[in-house]
Amino acid sequence: MTETAAGSRLDAFLATAIDGLSRSRAKALILGGHVTVGGATVVEPKHPVNAGEAVAVGIPEAEPAVPEAEAIPLSVVYEDADVIVIDKPAGLVVHPGAGNWTGTLVNALIAHCGDSLSGIGGVRRPGIVHRLDKDTSGLLVVAKTDRAHAGLAAQFADHGRTGPLVRGYRALAWGAPSRKWGTIEAAIARSTRNRQRMAVAKEGGREAVTHYEIEETFGPAAEPLVSLLSLGLETGRTHQIRVHLASIGNPVIGDPDYGAGFATRAARLREPARGLVQTLGRQALHAWLLGFSHPVTRKKLRFESPLPADMASILAALRTP
């Protein structure tokens, strides 16, 4: 129980008053009915609290991980008592959901980490503070303790705007943006045509900012067939890079949701690049860079992952004279 400062939002106050508690976690506790103000349960995160009011918080026990442990091989890049960094292959779903209740990264982590895996993420996604799409490969960090979870969640909520988080992606895209580097600022919302997809919102939507730089282009200089792009995020919307690149006419190669209309362009490539692209079977998007401050020791950590074999083979073929 603690005394409050006048004029504070309840969620903001709790995040400040309780060491290691993120604002998002504070909000979840409030919504879950675990917080009282003046002896009365409050379920509104914006609830104002006044000086002298007593606020009590009950931290519930971590819910048991319903997903079963599965002995799925993991490519572990780094691991200590608090965090684990995984190089996720394409095709591996991060957490259980409709149609994917087994065979996920969470199932593998439960087997690998056992009881040490953070419970704050909830029943279906213990330890998960960010995600990669099923068919996007690359680096992903998972919390093994609740303290680490809170610290990582705060960094990902900031998206590297003012904090130490750094995330870098590489993509093979159709064509090339008109400028060597630039920023795509376009709000993203659920598509009104297909609720399983996202789209640039004409109005409303959530802020989304993607930075890109052209590393290489392939084909005629005036009208490249393919480009290798380096990308960074200021926000973390679902399918953000894929939606943003499609919105400027340069969808990720192999993207079945946002680039299907460009698939016939593969016929314009020379072999073996043509065949490699046609049989890729996933979007050519890879999370190659991940940097963050260790949530417990505060040491700055940085990890890099080379392009996976499928993307590297396409790139090598494109570079062949």
Could you tell me what percentage of the chain is helix, strand and coil, using 3-state DSSP and rounding each to the nearest 5?
25, 30, 50
Alpha-carbon span 216 to 45, nearest angstrom: 47
Alpha-carbon span 203 to 115, nearest angstrom: 45
Alpha-carbon span 80 to 121, nearest angstrom: 19
CB neighbour burial string for 230-264, b if at least 16 within 10 angstroms, e if fewer: bbbbbeebebbbbbbbbbbebbbbbbebbbeebbe
Distances (CA, A) of 11 to 60, 113, 122, 139: 17, 31, 19, 31
Given the structure tokens 């149609």, which residue do they identify?
A: 99
Q: List the catalytic residues.
A: 133
